[in-house]
């Protein structure tokens, strides 16, 4: 059992890591930390795991996190992550970071959308943790920047089409919808029950910070700079992201080309499932799992393809993918600890 | 008090008509009909109005519907509507039809998306019941084809931009999300509680029947044929539609041009509200009302405009708009009986 | 149009008052106040009423509230209410108070469950604002203590049985369930969307502060001191209360006696509806209205009666009842401004 | 890997069995049957398990079910279960029946609440499958009658108090609230999304069929006949049951006696958790797990104890408990395949 620790474990992403790692057959959790809940027992904060996982939140300190651990998950806000990660790496510990701090290859992009980067020297070695795109590099990385939830759903929906050059890269529009857990456990009027219930809405229109991250990976796939429109929406539900992606087809591209590109690209993907023709996925069918389910439709009237991509934002969009990255880094099977079926209903 | 009747009154659209008309100061309901619930009292089917509106469902028969009524609302499935409407008109009664049967000027378009039309001779005089576009013609119509719910939200979001020629007509993409009441009160697995809750999904991708209806009106506004992509989604909530509309801006068009177009087009619109810059509406803020709230954002990175349009699918998207059309036809103030504030929370 | 003002108007209860009063045919709102939102326009806080009610929040100050107003609604937290109300009364203004501060005839009861009372001299004249019990006294009151939401549903469910002496008073158990709006618009983890959704729970078991208020009125009805068990629960929905009330029948009491007591007690009640035998109400059928719908069942196996009582917690449980009390105080018809049908779905 | 089969596997209870058994380390599913979905692949009916569990529904036939299986789960409607179970037992196969058909020791009780029993000779040997009460007998049973969902939550909440004779048996009132999945996947207006959302309601007041089943087990615990009041309610959520149980304390019984009784009774219970004093559980904290979480409060004002009991209706209330019973019957650890943490949020 390999010991691993979690920094910032009291949010939903942290708790999802605890849920997954407490059932993982090859690792054990050596420490969980939280500045807000330091000193409290996990089961007082999350009664769901009383008698199931009896840990206590410690201070978010490098010594605590590396005490006997071989790998650290950092589920901290951006800025806080890059403040602590260099000292973890210096102690010879590998890191899967769930913040945005190490997702960008180019510090100037990060700084244009976020803030000054305090550890830009690490961006060169950090690997963007999307296994379908960077499996080999993840396995060898010291530092993995775990993708954003929206980014995961959009990139996986576009990748086959861009790589096979079937779509006009600059025509991509991603309209994404997320459950409320994506906004975390912190209190705000926008996540207050009575404001969410029966209240579907868009937010951060044309300025959400997952945009440059998606563009970085789509540009990598297209072999040229790609700019997209990305609009996030808040759905009255707890978990799940569905992204509806529109793109103009290159001349002559038909339904069969599109289907072949998806099947080829994901031929060996453990956690991507392609829906049968004519079936479109619901977020319910991936809930609690690491699956990304994809479907598409060619609209010959308009010459566009529409791709539907669903994930669980907390599992595939955050903690499940982080565990998958850990599995690759530690040489375990990719799905180790991630085999459970989705939850329905 | 002008007597009016409702055919097909036992569904959600019919009940919303009853709710609105039972509080309308200028009309009274002379008859409600329902094939499924014929003979039952309204309050047994909808206990909400016990002691409030004591009617009984009668047979959906022209004699019943026109018995003393001056205007009939037909809230029947398509086909059933066009089967009965000619006989209502023959009796000299005016009709607001909530089905799709009289929304199309061109029978061949209807027949391509629906079925054989049995009363094509009436299409020439039927008026598409969107007051912001056809107020004068509605006032004088014998027969109004009340718009579809999605169509209302999308057309109102595009109209100012198309009329002012600020966007590339063929670039329009409408990504729409609806509460479950849009699917009616009929039973199906897709509206079963446990399949909807936490289960956001797309449906009828690139083939929903509101597409040609939207295209008809957008073509009218653009002065040339327009084809769009339209994708409907089902949201785990009872009421509300939010449409996110994307379009490429014509060269040189900026935020100010867009704002001016919206303000000019809706300068005298009683039921369209423009959100302050930077505010995006939630479906909650129009619930139960006839408002359409609009917001937009110019994305200079991609040269596109994003419009957000919210309505209540049962009120503005169906029965509220039908009452508004009735008001215009009967010479009442446009908002007569529609003044109540939206419901929040 | 009689001018009235609202203190503490930015919470859900305050907004429900604004919704109802803005459509009331006999009054107009002269001022709304809020300490938290002072200076902001109502439509920035509640976009639902943009263009519909264009007021601005002022400071919660007696001069503001009484400036031209004939009656003030105080929708303030307890303590804050009793701090300001004496000065309103001193200015000759009548008050409907939605806090708990003036619901108790006995200051010691208030002080045992809440805190020191700062205006006990007013408790003698304050009237408990439940029209079905105290209609005459409300009409003549200077100060009405508007009942709690749970209290309204439980008292109305028990009243006929206690008055007719059909049940054993000390056997009453009220198990109540409320939508989340009852907890207000203030932020807390217990009203955070992801903690509520799919998370039904009980709270303040055997110590909720509506208990003594219910007991006061039931004792009044029974003619002797009554103690009950009362348990509130939080339901994943925005609006509505359903109370399930259990009581032991006195010897010889049967279904018919129970039915007769309910029908006699509520024979002339405008806002209480008795369900047909065998039908049990849902909270949906009273949503947005001032109705209380009641049903009951005699269980001959156990000798108990079970009463089901549903209300909308924001309307009948707070602001609708407050408007009804105002109507009585100002000599308007009891249902003036409260005639709209419940919202469904 | 022991082969087991599932009769009636296409409902929610059946699918929950598939979910749990497909991840169970000691068994494999040899066949799933469904009359409604015969011939269809599981993943067409439940896309959630596409690529995860590739079975096909077969006919609900004894030969299919016993083909190589050592144990059969019957998740059929009552009547259908007792029609097929004798032939399964005759083939030497052990059965866990999730219907009500074999929960009663006395055929006359079954027949008073359900219908004529067609296999009364098996009632003597069938064991009521609540491990906390009948662990030894379950282990040796040929036929286990798996408890009802409500029954599980109520019996576990009352058992310690009745056995320790701390409460007046005839005073028990159980007010229970369930998520909608308890009503199954069959279509009905009462489980239609728009009728459930924001629509909390009671049903089958004083006549729900879980009543006699609860009474049977409470009578067993009390050592004398017990009659209770039981009221079920439908909560707008998918999963979870919370039961609020009221009982009069015997003279002299205090908080400490109650706490000791609970701790003693459940000292070695793997799947019952007692909440710390002052904490009351939410359904969210047991979702997807086999836990029953219990809390209680002594109300010295009224001399009653209130017990709160939460379970997941599909897991502990049906399929998880069935797997637990299978574990006992096959000599596996009680929690084999049931170790996963609850799902939150």
- With contacts defined as CB-CB under 8 Å, which chain C residues touch B14? none
The number of distinct structural domains making up chain C is 2
Considering only the beta carbons, identify the residue of B229, B302, B308 that sits closest to A205.
Answer: B308
Q: What is the pLDDT of residues A231-258, one digit of tens each?
A: 999 999 999 999 999 999 999 999 999 9
Q: What is the pLDDT of residue D129?
A: 98
Q: What is the pLDDT of residue A54?
A: 87
What is the C-alpha R_g of chain A? 20
B172 plus B305 within the same structural domain: yes
Task: Report chain C residues touching chain B, CB-CB < 8 A.
Answer: 12, 15, 18-19, 22-23, 44, 46-53, 181, 197-198, 238-239, 273, 275-276, 279, 281-282, 284-289, 293, 339-345
Regions of chain B short of the pLDDT cut 70: none
D177 plus D248 within the same structural domain: yes
B137 falls within a domain? no
Write down how long chain A is: 345
Considering only the beta carbons, identify the residue of D52, D281, D345 that sits closest to A47.
Answer: D281
DSSP line for A241-303:
EEEEEEEEBPTT--HHHHHHHHHHHTTT-SSEEEPPTT---BGGGGTTSS-EEEEEEEETTTT
Q: What is the pLDDT of residue D281?
A: 98
A117 plus A170 within the same structural domain: no
B155 plus B272 within the same structural domain: yes
Please report, for the domain that includes residue A119, its CATH number: 3.40.50.720
Cross-chain Cβ contact A283/B202 below 8 Å: no
DSSP line for D250-274:
PTT--HHHHHHHHHHHTTT-TTEEE
Count CB neighbours of C32 within 10 A: 28
C186 plus C297 within the same structural domain: yes
- Sheet hosting strand C27-33, strand order edge to edge: C57-58, C27-33, C2-7, C71-74, C94-97, C143-145, C127-128
Considering only the beta carbons, identify the residue of D52, D340, D344 that sits closest to A15.
Answer: D344
DSSP C164: T
D107 plus D162 within the same structural domain: no
Q: Which residues contact B178 (CB under 8 A, 6 or more apart)?
A: B149, B150, B232, B233, B234, B235, B240, B241, B313
D163 plus D262 within the same structural domain: yes
Q: What is the pLDDT of residue C107?
A: 98
Considering only the beta carbons, identify the residue of C170, C197, C239 that sits closest to D198.
Answer: C239
CA–CA gap between residue C331 and residue C326 (Å, rounded) = 8
3-state secondary structure of C144: strand
Whether residue C271 contacts residue C340, with contact meaning beta carbons closer than 8 Å, is answered with no
C292 falls within a domain? yes
- Angle of helix C131-140 relative to helix C320-330, nearest 10 degrees, comes to 40
B175 falls within a domain? yes
**A152-178 average pLDDT score:** 98
Percent share of chain C, pLDDT over 70: 100
Q: What is the pLDDT of residue B65?
A: 98
Work out the minimum CA distance from B177 to partner chain A, whole angstroms: 8
- With contacts defined as CB-CB under 8 Å, which chain B residues touch C339? 23
Q: Which residues contact D198 (CB under 8 A, 6 or more apart)?
A: A197, A198, B238, C179, C237, C238, C239, C240, C283, C284, C287, C345, D236
Cross-chain Cβ contact C195/D345 below 8 Å: yes
Peptide bond into C19 cis (omega under 30): no
Q: Is the dihedral angle over the CA atoms A63, A65, A69, A73 positive or is it negative?
A: negative
Q: What is the pLDDT of residues B307-323, one digit of tens each?
A: 999 999 999 999 999 99
Cross-chain Cβ contact C302/D227 below 8 Å: yes
D120 plus D184 within the same structural domain: no
pLDDT at D54 > cutoff 90: no
Work out the minimum CA distance from B310 to partner chain C, whole angstroms: 12
B112 plus B215 within the same structural domain: no
CA–CA gap between residue B242 and residue B234 (Å, rounded) = 11
D260 falls within a domain? yes
**D58-80 average pLDDT score:** 97
- With contacts defined as CB-CB under 8 Å, which chain B residues touch A170? 302
C109 plus C46 within the same structural domain: yes
| A78-110 burial code (b ≥16 CB/10 A, e <16) | bebbbebbeebbeeebbbbbbbbbbbbbebebb
Q: What is the pLDDT of residue B54?
A: 87
**C122-126 average pLDDT score:** 98
C185 falls within a domain? yes
Q: What is the pLDDT of residues C212-224, one digit of tens each?
A: 999 999 999 999 9
Task: Report chain A residues touching chain B, CB-CB < 8 A.
Answer: 170, 173, 175, 177, 179, 194-195, 197-203, 205-206, 227-229, 231, 233, 235-240, 242, 244, 246, 280-285, 287, 297, 299, 301-302, 304, 306, 308, 345
- With contacts defined as CB-CB under 8 Å, which chain A residues touch C196? 193
CA–CA gap between residue C126 and residue C143 (Å, rounded) = 5
Cross-chain Cβ contact A48/D23 below 8 Å: no
Please report, for the domain that includes residue D244, its CATH number: 3.30.360.10
10 Å CB burial of residue D87 (0-12, 13-18, 19+) is: middle
C219 plus C168 within the same structural domain: yes
Cross-chain Cβ contact A198/B246 below 8 Å: no
For an interface test with C, give the residue of A182, A192, A313 to mutate (most C CBs within 10 A).
A192
ipTM value for the complex = 0.98
Residues of B with active-site annotation = 149
Range of the domain at B299: 150-313
CA–CA gap between residue D240 and residue D286 (Å, rounded) = 8
Cross-chain Cβ contact C345/B23 below 8 Å: no
CA–CA gap between residue B67 and residue A97 (Å, rounded) = 72
Domain-ending residue, one of D110, D125, D140? D125
Q: What is the pLDDT of residues C277-310, one digit of tens each?
A: 999 999 999 999 999 999 999 999 999 999 999 9
What average pLDDT does chain C have?
Answer: 97
B344 falls within a domain? no
B133 falls within a domain? no
What is the number of CB-based contacts under 8 A between chain C and chain D? 144
Work out the minimum CA distance from B316 to partner chain D, whole angstroms: 18
Using alpha carbons, select from D288, D337, D285 the residue that is nearest to residue D314. Answer: D288
3-state secondary structure of C190: helix
Work out the minimum CA distance from D209 to partner chain A, whole angstroms: 24
Work out the minimum CA distance from D210 to partner chain A, whole angstroms: 23
Domain-ending residue, one of D109, D125, D141? D125
Considering only the beta carbons, identify the residue of A238, A273, A344 that sits closest to D46.
Answer: A344
CA–CA gap between residue C225 and residue C193 (Å, rounded) = 40
Q: What is the pLDDT of residue C54?
A: 87
Compute, in degrees rounded to 10, the torsion defined by CA atoms B322, B324, B328, B330: 70
Rounded to the nearest 5 percent, the helix, strand and coil shares of chain B are: 35, 20, 40
B323 falls within a domain? no
D202 plus D273 within the same structural domain: yes
Task: Report chain D residues touching chain A, CB-CB < 8 A.
Answer: 12, 15, 18-19, 22-23, 44, 46-53, 181, 197-198, 238-239, 273, 275-276, 279, 281-282, 284-289, 293, 339-345
Cross-chain Cβ contact B239/A198 below 8 Å: yes
Q: In terms of CA atoms, which chain A residue is nearest residue D292?
A: A48
């Amino acid at each position: 059992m390999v010991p691993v620790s979690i920094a910032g474990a009291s949010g939903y992403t942290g708790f999802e890591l605890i849920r997954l790692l407490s059932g993982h057959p090859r690792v054990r959790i050596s420490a969980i930390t939280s500045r807000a809940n330091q000193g409290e027992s996990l089961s007082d904060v999350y009664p769901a795991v009383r008698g199931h996982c009896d840990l206590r939140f410690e201070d978010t300190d490098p010594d605590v996190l590396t005490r006997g651990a071989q790998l650290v998950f950092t589920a901290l806000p951006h800025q806080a992550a890059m403040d602590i990660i260099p000292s973890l790496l210096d102690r010879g510990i590998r890191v899967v970071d769930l913040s945005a701090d190490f997702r960008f290859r180019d510090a100037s992009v990060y700084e244009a959308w976020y803030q000054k980067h305090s550890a830009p020297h690490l961006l060169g070695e950090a690997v963007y943790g999307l296994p379908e795109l960077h499996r080999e590099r993840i396995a060898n990385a010291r530092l993995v920047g775990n993708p954003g939830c929206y980014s995961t759903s959009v990139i996986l929906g576009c990748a086959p089409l861009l790589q096979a050059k079937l779509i006009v890269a600059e025509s991509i529009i991603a309209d994404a919808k997320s459950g409320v857990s994506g906004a975390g456990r912190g209190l705000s009027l926008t996540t207050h029950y009575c404001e969410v219930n029966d209240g579907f809405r868009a937010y951060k229109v044309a300025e959400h910070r997952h945009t440059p991250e998606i563009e970085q990976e789509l540009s990598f796939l297209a072999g040229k700079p790609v700019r997209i429109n990305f609009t996030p929406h808040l759905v009255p539900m707890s978990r799940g992201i569905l992204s509806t992606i529109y793109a103009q087809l290159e001349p002559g591209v038909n339904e069969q080309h599109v289907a072949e590109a998806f099947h080829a690209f994901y031929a060996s993907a453990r956690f991507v499932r392609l829906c049968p023709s004519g079936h479109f996925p619901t977020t319910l069918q991936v809930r609690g799992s690491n699956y990304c389910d994809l479907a598409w439709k060619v609209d010959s009237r308009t010459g566009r393809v529409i791709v539907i991509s669903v994930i669980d934002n907390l599992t595939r969009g955050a903690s499940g993918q982080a565990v998958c990255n850990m599995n690759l880094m530690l040489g375990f099977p990719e799905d180790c600890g991630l085999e459970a079926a989705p939850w329905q209903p």
